[in-house]
């Protein structure tokens, strides 16, 4: 039981490049979330999904897109990376309706030059 895993762990992009971050969970959770963590800002919600095929915007969605084609996977895309998107990205999942507890992955450290 791996819990929540994230790929890749580290990535460096040039401004304007695109990439996709992958989150996978093996807990059969319905809800999945993408957060970013910046120094002095705390964790902020980017997008979330309440089930397969659904997505919704969080607090800071601009510049990101997401997809949830399979229940266990949640993808975060950057179409045209900007230096302001340099951050640590965390994925989380929860089994809403039981404990609501969100379990987090290990994070992806992204640098945009």
Q: Should residue 78 be labelled a site residue for other proteins when binding is judged by CB under 8 A?
A: no
Q: Should residue 70 be labelled a site residue for other proteins when binding is judged by CB under 8 A?
A: no
Which range touches other proteins (CB under 8 A), out of 11-19, 60-68, 71-79, 95-103? 95-103
Indicate if the alpha-carbon torsion angle 81, 55, 95, 52 is positive or negative: negative
Q: Should residue 19 be labelled a site residue for other proteins when binding is judged by CB under 8 A?
A: no
Q: Should residue 75 be labelled a site residue for other proteins when binding is judged by CB under 8 A?
A: no
Which range touches other proteins (CB under 8 A), out of 16-24, 67-75, 79-87, 92-100? 92-100
Q: Should residue 64 be labelled a site residue for other proteins when binding is judged by CB under 8 A?
A: no
> 7-13, long-range: CB within 8 Å, 24+ apart, which pairs?
7/108, 8/108, 9/106, 9/107, 9/108, 9/109, 10/108, 10/109, 10/110, 11/108, 11/109, 11/110, 11/111, 12/110, 12/111, 12/112, 12/113, 13/78, 13/81, 13/110, 13/111, 13/112, 13/113
Near other proteins by CB under 8 A: residue from 48, 78, 81, 112 = 48
Which residues are at the interface with other proteins (CB under 8 A)? 4, 31, 33, 40-45, 48, 50, 56, 58, 90, 94, 96, 99-107
């Amino acid at each position: 039981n791996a819990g929540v895993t994230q790929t890749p762990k580290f990535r460096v992009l040039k401004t304007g490049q695109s990439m996709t971050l992958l989150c996978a969970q093996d807990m059969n959770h319905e809800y999945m979330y993408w957060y970013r963590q910046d120094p002095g800002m705390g964790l902020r919600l980017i997008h979330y999904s309440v089930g397969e095929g659904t997505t919704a915007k969080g607090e800071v969605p601009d510049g990101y897109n997401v997809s949830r084609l399979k229940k266990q996977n949640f993808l975060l895309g950057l179409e045209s990376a900007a230096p302001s998107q340099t951050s640590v990205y965390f994925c989380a999942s929860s089994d809403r309706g039981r404990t609501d507890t969100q379990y987090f992955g290990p994070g992806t450290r992204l640098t945009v030059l």
